[in-house]
Amino acid sequence: KKINDNFGHHVGDEVLILVSDLLKETMRSRDLLSRFGGEEFVALLPFADSNKAKAIAMRINDKIAQYDFSSLVLQTKVTFSIGVATMTDNQMSFDDLLHNADLAMYQAKEQGRNTVVCYQNISEAPS
């Protein structure tokens, strides 16, 4: 949002394209990436336990943090906050899994951006 506000939607779209390319380069060939909202992505990582999922998320975070976005004339940092949630049993719905990842992502944002948080390491606040 800050990039769109400061540099225009065209630059924001270019950043999203670059970020999605960086994500795809970092992920495994069997993983699935989708843009979920304005500036949110969802990645499905089949056969990845919480340790593997966190390792992939940390690689993604490092790649984004190290990338030089100056080709887009950006004078701001692009940050990533990643929430990781793993399916603990076959009875868990996709909505529950997504909810857990979302909670972890917001915890990562609260911790200062460029952070990876796993759902099992946070406690859900009462509604």
Which residues are catalytic, by number? Answer: 39
Side chain identity at residue 123, one-letter code: S
Task: Sort residue 91 into left (φ over 0), alpha (ψ -120 to 50) or beta.
Answer: alpha
Structure tokens at 52: 């593997």
Identify which of 99, 76, 4, 80 has the alpha carbon closest to the alpha carbon of residue 40.
Answer: 80
If residue 33 lies in a helix (H) or strand (E), which one and from where to where?
A: strand 32-35
Side chain identity at residue 59, one-letter code: R
Burial of 17: CB neighbours in 10 Å, binned 0-12, 13-18, 19+: exposed
Q: Which residues contact 8 (CB under 8 A, 6 or more apart)?
A: none
